[in-house]
Amino acid sequence: MCSRSWVTSWRNQAGEYCTQYLDFYEDRIGKEHLIIEEVPGGLILEETKMTFHWDWDNASQTCIYLDYGRNGIEYLEDVRLGGNTLRAWFTLFEDNVIYDGVYD
């Protein structure tokens, strides 16, 4: 899971196209890059880059918390890793999405 970029895409509640990159590092620091566009490859409406602290939230390693500091805490729940895929239920600010990230 660590030292690789995971990428996934979805449409948010407003119908905009979102692409998110998550990077996890062994020192429990992570980076997120979120791009929101009108359509894939179209006008970029918003682009954010944030750093977070992360750790497993349970002993069975099925839940990861991402602490964005002043921007709050988010969770990846029901985490499954395998075949270069990271799958989880992601409570992403206003959108709840199935995070189906692939190794980029």
Give the pTM. 0.84
* pLDDT at 50 (0 to 100): 97
- Domain borders along the chain are 5-103
pLDDT in tens, 13-64: 899 999 999 999 999 999 999 999 999 899 999 999 999 999 999 988 999 9
* pLDDT at 95 (0 to 100): 58
Q: Which CATH class is domain 5-103?
A: mainly beta
pLDDT in tens, 66-81: 999 998 999 998 999 8
Comparing CA positions, the residue from 42, 64, 45 lying closest to residue 53 is 64
pLDDT in tens, 82-94: 888 888 888 765 5
As a whole number of Å, the end-to-end CA separation of the chain is 12
Q: What is the sign of the dihedral through the CA atoms of 99, 100, 103 and 104?
A: negative
Q: Report helix, strand or coil for 13.
A: coil
